Amino acid sequence: MTTVADVMTRDVRTMAPGDSVVDAARCMDELNVGVIPVCEGDKLVGMVTDRDIVVRGVAAQQGELKSMKLADVMSGNVRCARAEDDVDRVLGEMAQAQIRRLPVVDGNQRLIGIVSLGDIAAKNPDDEGDVAISLGDISSPAEPDRSGLGAAPSQSQNQH
């Protein structure tokens, strides 16, 4: 059994909820990544993606981008993996939730790393087929979330 600990990336760069969105974007550019874990100390409190910055910050026009903080745009209550989790189970969760990466935390919600589809593919070639299937599931179009537009969802939308 291959575990998350076998394939995850350790020593991940983090930022704090009070850090600026602009600094996070610069950090993403510098590291060539699309996600930054948001921590208070070593405890994971959220994740911010390049998409969060664009959709929740720029497109939603929540204010002056230069003064916007990560707490304003980050996702809280993040799905996480544990170091001892089986990679195949984690791949299934990633596919179901349509996400490409998961933070890895210990029992106290302290961030110890990140596991991505790329990590699994690069470090565990036996899972190549599973990674391809998961990527296909993750990449399937989802229905747009229009809940923020003020319109009540139609009955057919509620049944999905």
Query: pLDDT per residue over 107-130, tens digit each?
Result: 999 999 999 888 887 765 554 454
Paired with 9 in beta bridges are 114
Look at residues 85, 97, 79 and name the one whose alpha carbon lies nearest to residue 134.
Answer: 97
Query: What was the pLDDT predicted at 159?
Result: 34
Are the C-beta atoms of 103 and 44 separated by less than 8 Å?
Answer: yes
Q: How many domains does the chain have?
A: 1
Residue 147 inside a domain? The answer is no
| Average confidence score pLDDT of the chain | 79
Q: Structural domain of residue 66, as residue ranges? A: 4-137
For residue 20, what pLDDT is reported? 94
* pLDDT one-digit tens code per residue, 25-38: 999 999 999 999 99
What pLDDT does residue 155 have?
Answer: 33
Per-residue pLDDT at 55 exceeds 70: yes
The segment with the largest mean pLDDT, out of 5-14, 48-57, 62-71, is 5-14
- pTM recorded for the entire structure: 0.74
At residue 64, the pLDDT reads: 77
Angstrom distance (rounded) from CA 21 to CA 74: 9
Q: Is position 158 within any domain?
A: no
Residue 32 falls within a domain, yes or no? Answer: yes
6 pLDDT higher than 90: yes
Higher pLDDT, 63 or 67: 67
116 bridge partner residues: 101
- Dihedral angle of Cα 108, 113, 116, 122, to the nearest 10 degrees: -140
Q: Are 134 and 92 in contact (CB under 8 A)?
A: yes
Greater model confidence, 152 or 57 = 57
Q: Give residue for tokens 């100390």.
A: 41
The reply to whether 98 falls in a domain is yes
- Is 144 inside any structural domain? no
Q: Does residue 108 fall inside a structural domain?
A: yes
73 part of a folded domain: yes
What CATH number has the domain bearing residue 73? Answer: 3.10.580.10
Question: Is pLDDT at 145 greater than 80 in this prediction?
Answer: no
pLDDT at site 61:
67
Query: Minimal CA–CA distance to 57: which of 44, 70, 47?
Result: 70
Classify residue 14: in a domain, yes or no.
Answer: yes
The mean per-residue pLDDT over the stretch 88-94 comes to: 89
